[in-house]
Structure 1
Amino acid sequence: MKKRMVIMLVCVGVLLALLVGFNAFKAQMMKKFMASNAAPPATVSAVTVSYQVWQPQLMAVGSLRAVRGVDVTTEIAGLVREVRFKSGDAAKAGQLLVQLNADSDIAQLHASQAAAELARTVYMRDKAQYEIQAIAKAQLDADAADLKSKDALVAQQAAIVAKKAIRAPFAGQLGITTVNPGQYLNPGDAIVTLQAINPVYVDFYLPQQQIGQLAVGLAVMVESSSFSGRVFTGKITSINPKVDTATRNVQVEASIDNREGRLLPGMYANVKIDVGSSRQHLTLPQTAITYNPYGATVFIVKPGSKPNAQGKVLPEAQQVFVTPGATRGDQVAIERGLTAGMQVVTSGQLKLKNGTPLVINNQVQPAASPNPMPQEQ
């Protein structure tokens, strides 16, 4: 009986030992399997956070306007006798542009002048007779009134004749005209556009919060998509004393040097105004920041702690919260959360989580220009 009990205990012990050994072997194999099947490293681009000097700027989109601009029209109806300019010419102030047929008006002017001369002759003769008491004072007064009336008719007719000669009201650049000799013009019909474009005005709007940073004489830089990379300079000439109650924006006018005549009225332009002194900001490309309901985050690159299956220790990703500030083109200033010298992932964040091993490849970097320009694809 004792012998059977001993044999049973030995068998139970051997069975327990085999069970414990099998579990230990299983755990070891599972650990090895998991180690060999760890997540592969993620390939990302990264940049080292550093301070950059920023010049505070106010930016807006404005519309160009001529200092003086008008569509030249006729005040009086008439038949075009002669066109004295060509499309695109530069006109001087007072230059004759179009001459309307004024033959009948000139003839009427001559008749009025003859009547005025006769009235003047009668007045001078009656004045001499009045001095010798040959006529009454009432007759002389009637002659004087008739002379003034005739002179007024001469001035009226001369004004009508002058209106038949359509002149440039100021110096500027003429546009394209479709008026031809023999064409009949009615009052108000447009003949040609006349624009004084040196200098040229740019009108733009800024929020009322920025009014305190504005002042007449402040330098302005203007860029147009028509002239890529070209910057036109000017200065603020006027600030509207009234804020728009619908938008809470204030209108600003600036005068831009346009001696080459490249900027044309009606074009839109990007306006930049330097305000205040330059500042230093920790700067990142905007692609480095991920926004979620909890805030803005970035992935920083930290040294790895464990070797991979090949025995290499790769850097790892760690997610941190940051406070972004002002933006400048493709760049964003970081106010809190990072320090200079940290390495931050700039692309490939969607496949990362805390502890993901990283392979950094900076052959292609996301755009980080302070003054990006549109590109045609």
Structure 2
Amino acid sequence: MIKRMVIMLLATGAVFGGLYWFQNFKAGIIKQVMAGMSNPPQTVSTAVAARMPWQDEIEAVGTLKAANGADLALEVSGIVQNISFKSGDSVSAGQTLLQLAAQEDIAKLASLQATLDNYVITLDRDKAQQAIKAVSQATVDTDTANVRNAQALVDQQKAVVAQKTLTAPFGGRLGIRSVDLGQYLTAGTTVVTLQALDPLYVDVYLPQQALSRLKVGQEVNTTVDVYPGRVFKGEISAINPKVDSTTRNVLVRATIKNPDGALLPGMFTKVAIAIGSVQQLVTLPQTAIVYNPYGDSVFIVDDKAKGDQAQGVARQTFVKTGNVRGDNVAVVDGIQPGDKVVIAGQLKLRNGTPVNIDNSHVPPAEDAPVVTDQ
């Protein structure tokens, strides 16, 4: 009997002990869950929205072309007798570049010139004889025809001799020569390329919707990856009067100043065409915008009362954005100058999240950022 009572007491103690342990375990679980559901401050970076001058631009990509550019070649064949240039030389219009062997043609020209001189002498003599009625008018007419024919043959031979000489048709910079002294050159073989480098043209295709905002003389800024941070200025020089029926794009040509010859034909370039007047708009770094299909938004940091552990609280608000310029974007609606906007750390935020601000590692937002190798 006593043994049975001991067993019952032990069983009752085990039950109450289990219940006590379960209650403590449940309280611990609830405490952990509540701790996980708490809203600790999140560290973010911020920028202050400011009103700045803003110039709208149309951006496009294009290709540089020389105002004058040609692959120089001769019309006739022959042996290269003289080369009067070096690869990369700057030349002026009319400068002699190459000469083919032309001794036979020059000798023939001399023969034809001698014949012409003889006909001229005969004509002068017969004119003197005609004055005293010693020869007829028919003789003078024949002499005149002979002179004209001989002159035509001389001019023709001069053209043949001139074809053996290659001259620069315009001033510019030569490329790398592709012929050597003594080489037999066939007609039409490229000797060297010649490019006029100042100014250059840049051709871009723009959508037809841009036509109403374009005009000849409009300012154009051009950049190339070869010279980061450098802007080459120019202006629109021509707008094609025809829109491509396939792409609905229009060809626009701008003339770019290139006084030091830094730009070369064929380069890929980025073109920015200023449109409209300068406006005063609120701007933010692009990283501040949270892009969503249902609307773009930003997080504004509102100050908290003194004594709170966090520096502020995040408040999400929808915005209407405008054009982008470099790292910055214009905000047309939704932000006021002076608002403190989150530019890094938005993924951790929701409405009402307390935040601490750390701007110690925020890179500057630039209108024309330059990529540099680290």
Pair in the same fold by TM > 0.5: yes
* Change in 2 beyond 3 A, CA 1:32/1:178: closer
Shift of 1:105: 0.5
Shift of 1:194: 1.6
Shift of 1:77: 0.9
CA distance in 1, matches of 2:162, 2:26: 110
Q: 1:342 aligns with which of 328, 339, 344?
A: 339
Show the counterpart of 1:3. none
* Change in 2 beyond 3 A, CA 1:163/1:35: same
- Mean Cα displacement is larger for which, 337-346 or 96-105? 337-346
Matched-pair contact (CA < 8 Å) for 2:41–2:310: no
* Change in 2 beyond 3 A, CA 1:114/1:356: same
**1:79 equivalent in alignment to 2:79:** yes
* Change in 2 beyond 3 A, CA 1:32/1:226: closer
* Change in 2 beyond 3 A, CA 1:132/1:352: same
Show the counterpart of 1:356. 353
SS, match of residue 371 in structure 1: coil
Matched-pair contact (CA < 8 Å) for 1:299–1:320: yes
Matched-pair contact (CA < 8 Å) for 1:173–1:194: yes
Shift of 1:256: 2.7
SS, match of residue 47 in structure 1: strand
CA distance in 2, matches of 1:150, 1:80: 30
Q: How does 1:307-322 map to 2 (within 5 A)?
A: 312=309, 315-322=312-319
Identity of aligned residues (%): 46
Shift of 1:122: 4.9
CA distance in 2, matches of 1:29, 1:94: 96
Q: How does 1:113-262 map to 2 (within 5 A)?
A: 113-123=113-123, 128=129, 132=133, 137=138, 141-262=141-262
* 1:182 aligned partner, one-letter code: G
SS, match of residue 153 in structure 1: helix
Matched-pair contact (CA < 8 Å) for 2:229–2:369: no
Give the number of equivalent residue pairs.
349
**1:269 equivalent in alignment to 2:266:** no
* 1:198 aligned partner, one-letter code: D
Shift of 1:66: 1.9
Shift of 1:348: 1.7
The C-alpha deviation readout for 1:247-292, integer Å capped at 9, x for no partner, is 3333333333322222222223333333333212222222222222
Q: CA RMSD in A?
A: 3.2
- Mean Cα displacement is larger for which, 75-84 or 256-265? 256-265
CA distance in 2, matches of 1:293, 1:352: 19
- Mean Cα displacement is larger for which, 343-352 or 245-254? 245-254
SS, match of residue 98 in structure 1: strand
CA distance in 2, matches of 1:171, 1:205: 29
* Change in 2 beyond 3 A, CA 1:285/1:131: same
* 1:244 aligned partner, one-letter code: D
* Change in 2 beyond 3 A, CA 1:333/1:80: same
Shift of 1:29: 9.0
Residue segments in structure 1 that go unaligned for 5+ positions in a row: 1-24
* 2:116 aligned partner, one-letter code: A
Matched-pair contact (CA < 8 Å) for 2:310–2:356: no
* Change in 2 beyond 3 A, CA 1:234/1:134: closer
* 2:361 aligned partner, one-letter code: V
The C-alpha deviation readout for 1:309-329, integer Å capped at 9, x for no partner, is xx7466333332222222111
* 1:41 aligned partner, one-letter code: P
The C-alpha deviation readout for 1:132-175, integer Å capped at 9, x for no partner, is 376683x6554443433222211111110111122111222222
